[in-house]
Amino acid sequence: MTPDPCTIDHAEAFLVDIDVETVRTDAIQAFTKQETIFVRIRTSAGDGLGYSYTIGTGGTAVLALLKTDLLPRLIGQDASRPEAVWRDLLMSTHATAVGAVTSLALAAVDLAVWDLRSKVTGVPLWQLLGGAQDRLPLYDSEGGWLHLEPAQLVESAAKVLDQGWRGLKIKVGRSAAEDEARVAATRDALGPDVALLVDANQGFTVAEARRRCDMLAAHGVGWLEEPLPADDVSGHVRLAAQSAVPIAVGESIYSLAGFREYIGRGGCDFVQVDVSRIGGITPWMKVAHLAEAFGLKVAPHFLMEIHVSLACAVPNACFVEFIPQLRSVTTTELVIESGHALAPTSPGLGISWDHDALDRMATR
């Protein structure tokens, strides 16, 4: 019997450390490097390349799980059936799921499978997944890190206005007075028509977040992101019920069930699902559709190079976050036009990898 052309006959994983492009600090941590975990699969129909990441620790644990447990199971599987592949791998590591390491490992495989499927069909990923929008508004996060002073935030706001982007996100987590000065200066510089978004990176208690919300509302803040520790669903529910500022969560949630709890209980207003941390494109789409069923908008976290395709696939996405981090290993960049990120036109993930750079930088 002739094997299916999408039968996986080879799978490999490797790690590439990518230096951060600028200093990145928030209320609880610094982004020291991007440990980028790649998975390459091969079939007679072609190859697929997927990736996931950490911001400085744990990448070797993800790589070890892939090499020891997941990649051997891929051989002989049908890459045209991403749901079946993802489910098989999830169940094979059920004792370690749900967890960050398992989700990050699953994501690298799942992106490789979808990359291959899109290439084989010849259809760009955003269209293959639904094709709801061909572009989305862009907001900047690179100009808003916590170590930046008000004058520097004003400079960032001027760049956003000059480029015609639709929003700027700044970090909070200093003293109340310092945070207010930073927010006020940024709003004054942006004017009333550009979104000002605020990210606390899980740095507040419920009481402290309540105190900040009135100030943030007075400055027309579009959302308060991760105000509390991500596992405090009840706290987010209480805060969301009282806050005049919409609450955004998602970058630190690693399962569909976690989003079900937040969304079903009213703990958030914006869903910031991260394709690597949720475990890949397959579960990312389920979260996006769950959010749609509850009338919520999706604004994915980080990874703009892949998230532009996923966000454009669904009707309820509202933003793409600008944080460039793959320039050292790619040959093209996100296409931006009139303040919008444009969906890629090529099949696959829509990322043009510099394979020479990947081979040079890889540790296996």
Give the residue numbers marked as catalytic. Answer: 171, 301
Other Cβ atoms less than 10 A from the Cβ of 318: the count is: 19
Taking only Cα atoms into account, the Rg of the chain, rounded to an integer number of angstroms, comes to 20
- Locate tokens 């000002």: which residue? 196
Q: Which amino acid would we find at residue 35?
A: E
Report the DSSP beta bridge partners of residue 341: 136, 336
Determine the Cα–Cα distance for residues 345 and 65; give it in Å rounded to an integer.
Answer: 33
Q: How many residues does the chain have?
A: 364
Shortest CA distance to 160 belongs to which of 134, 188, 189? 189
Maximum Cα–Cα distance for the chain, whole Å?
Answer: 72
Q: What angle separates helix 82-92 from helix 100-121, to the nearest 10 degrees?
A: 160
The alpha carbon of 180 is separated from its chain's Cα centroid by a whole number of angstroms, namely 27
Between CA 198 and CA 96 the distance in angstroms is 33
What gap in Å lies between CA 32 and CA 148, rounded to an integer? 17
Which pair of structure tokens corresponds to residue 201?
């990176």
Q: Kindly list the distances between the CA atom of residue 63 and the CA atoms of 14, 46, 58, 359, in Å, as whole numbers in the listed order.
A: 7, 23, 9, 16
Three-state DSSP class for residue 173: coil
